[in-house]
Amino acid sequence: MASRRKARELALQMLFQWEVGGHAPAHVVNTFLGGRRLPEDVVEFARSLFEGTVAEAPTLDRLIAGHAEHWRLERMAAVDRNILRLALYELIRHPETPPPVVIDEALEIARRFSGEESVEFVNGVLDAARKSHASAKSPI
């Protein structure tokens, strides 16, 4: 598995632990990454994605809510909600990664951690966000 994919998966797992467990971000990082033997680049990218997504969660949630037709944020599966947060954060804050790559990675992660219906849902929301922001000429 590519190191960036592994980092994204770790970031997703930490986001889930943060949200569902209600733990502080620093606690999640220490307990989740502390005992693992991982390459430094994987740890750093995972940590960066996780901490950035947590810091911008309210903004990301508004973006998700604006593009998830007929879905309230609290009714979404926690895994799907966090995949969307993570992908939107990367689309906005890591413009060096092409949007199609970020979206494809999110779909592969959804396939692994959620289900096929979630893949379609995640794709629809991310594609709507990307198109909306492309027409507004913003970073997504």
Residue 105's Cβ-side half-sphere holds a number of Cα atoms within 13 Å equal to 25
Rg (CA), the chain: 14
Is 89 a residue whose pLDDT tops 60?
yes
**Tens digits of residue pLDDT in 15-44:** 999 999 999 999 999 999 988 899 999 999
Is 138 a residue whose pLDDT tops 60?
no
Residue 119's Cβ-side half-sphere holds a number of Cα atoms within 13 Å equal to 11
State the CB neighbour count (10 A cutoff) for residue 48: 16
Is 135 a residue whose pLDDT tops 90?
no
Distance between CA atoms of residues 27 and 58, nearest Å: 20
For residue 131, name the pLDDT band (cuts at 50, 70, 90): confident
Q: What domains sit in the chain, N to C, each tagged with a CATH number? A: 3-135 (1.10.940.10)
User: Could you tell me which of 131, 95, 129, 39 has the C-alpha nearest to residue 10?
Assistant: 39
pTM for this structure? 0.92
**3-state class (DSSP) for residue 79:** helix
**Tens digits of residue pLDDT in 103-126:** 999 999 999 999 889 999 999 999
